[in-house]
Chain A
Amino acid sequence: MKTTRRDFLTTAATAAGAAATGNLAHAQDHESGHSHAHQVVPSDPALRVKSLESLLVEKGLVDRAALDALIDTYEHKVGPRNGAQVVARAWADPAYKQRLLMDADKAIAELGYGGMQGEHMVVVENTPTVHNMVVCTLCSCYPWPVLGLPPVWYKSAPYRSRSVIDPRGVLREFGTEISEDVEVRVWDSTAEVRYLVLPERPSGAEGLTEDALAALVTRDSMIGVARVLPRREGGAA
């Protein structure tokens, strides 16, 4: 298979055309929040990636089993439930919350989380007067150990471009209205520091166990684009 960079780009253009068609076909889905347009990708990237993997394996550069193990880790072991445990502990234990705000790396490590893309953590607290939200305008920086790999929207041009210039408009798109007397504080992850938002504890959550509290905490609330609601829809909390 003789292919060049230009071939790949041409194929990518075709893929974009297919995706655009998909967009029209699924416009209805978009409105109801079930977008799958970016899943319309031809098999070509799959073939190229497979070819690259064979090459790297044959050259002794990677071990397939190691790739499998890493994918399994990020698909099944590292994700926003980790961050939710951190938030729930902070809500339940004021001394832990203090440690978390003072030295997030150590406090997060207490719960067993840390590593790649979470080496230098800072936790920012939402209060009645400050609402924090996190973005990476330059690429896709995100705190992997506590939130897992970022969702597509976080890495996309619309979110990266507008979060800093129109944060309230972006928040509104997530159904989050921030009142005029609250400071919206946007954290642009331009260095190796990674941010986790500590959302406000919802009213009516008194007396819940730490696990029940954690069940209320969503990924989006820890990025800062949503609030934590007293009860998740259909949840038993």
Chain B
Amino acid sequence: MNGVHDMGGMQDMGPIQKEKNEPVFHHPWEGRVFAMYRATGAWRKWNIDAARYARELIPPADYLRMSYYEKWYEGLVSLLTERSLVTRAEVDSGRPAHGSSKLTPPLTPKELLDSVAKGAPAKRDVPVPARFQRGQSIRARNINPVGHTRLPRYARGKVGTIDRDYGVFVFPDSNALFLGENPQHVYSVRFSARELWGEQAKPQDTVYLSMWDDYLEPA
């Protein structure tokens, strides 16, 4: 989706506001949102790509206005309701609907910490052939899907070079929509800054993107 989340290359967003001795969470509720998102993810009703897509679907003006964890709250409520863990009425009331079923038990503290320590690898050990080789010239496809994609607008149609093959990974465009993992190779692709931005960029500068096979065509 050509949404406002796809920010690479936009200008005039203002100065970068650094904060000295920044706390991990600025308010207790931010930590609660973060933790609830991780803990409810354990029910496996969605995946990381669907979670990113849920945040991308926040209306653009709101996306720009909301703080980071306000967006996470919005995304979490979308996931919880759309994947039927809770209803919208329950979110509104803060109480389980009368007679509603419970999915219990939740993860214990140890189980939750173990799951975070273990991580959730997106790499898949499946024999998928690589379509491109190191050193090969590629062009990022000019695609404009209305769903989720990790191919930023600023790279579409641009020519780069395969620098490295990272292996086979879950494909977010299909996974976010629960259409399957469609595992395929991800490459580190080098673009010259001039190819992306024209003469105003320094000729020596580069931008590297991680790109799935389906985003690329031979150049």
Q: Is the CB of B8 within 8 A of A75?
A: no
Q: Is the CB of B93 within 8 A of A41?
A: no
Question: Looking at the complex, which one of B20, B62, B94, B121 makes contact with A119 (CB distance below 8 Å)?
Answer: B121
Chain A residue total in the interface (Cβ 8 A): 97
Q: Is A25 an interface residue (CB 8 A)?
A: no
Q: Is A184 an interface residue (CB 8 A)?
A: yes
Question: Looking at the complex, which one of A50, A69, A71, A173 makes contact with B16 (CB distance below 8 Å)?
Answer: A173
B55 nearest CB across to chain A (Å): 7
Contact A45 to B73, CB < 8 A, known contacts A74-B24, A115-B116: yes
B interface, CB within 8 angstroms of A: 5-11, 13-20, 22-29, 31-36, 38-40, 43, 48, 52, 55, 59, 62, 64-70, 73-74, 76-77, 80, 85-86, 90-96, 100, 102-113, 115-123, 150-152, 154, 166, 169-170, 172, 186, 188, 193, 196-197, 201-202, 204-212
Q: Is the CB of B85 within 8 A of A61?
A: yes
Q: Is the CB of B67 within 8 A of A70?
A: no
Residues of the A chain whose Cβ atoms lie less than 8 Å from the Cβ of B107: 62-63, 66
Chain A 62-83 against B: per-residue CB contact (8 Å), 1 yes, 0 no? 1101111111011100010000
B122 nearest CB across to chain A (Å): 4
Residues of the B chain whose Cβ atoms lie less than 8 Å from the Cβ of A45: 27, 29, 69-70, 73
Residues of the B chain whose Cβ atoms lie less than 8 Å from the Cβ of A119: 119-123
Bound complex: CA A116 to CA B115 (Å): 8
Bound complex: CA A34 to CA B105 (Å): 44
Question: Looking at the complex, which one of B5, B117, B204, B211 makes contact with A138 (CB distance below 8 Å)?
Answer: B5
Q: Is the CB of A16 within 8 A of B65?
A: yes
Q: Is the CB of B92 within 8 A of A4?
A: yes
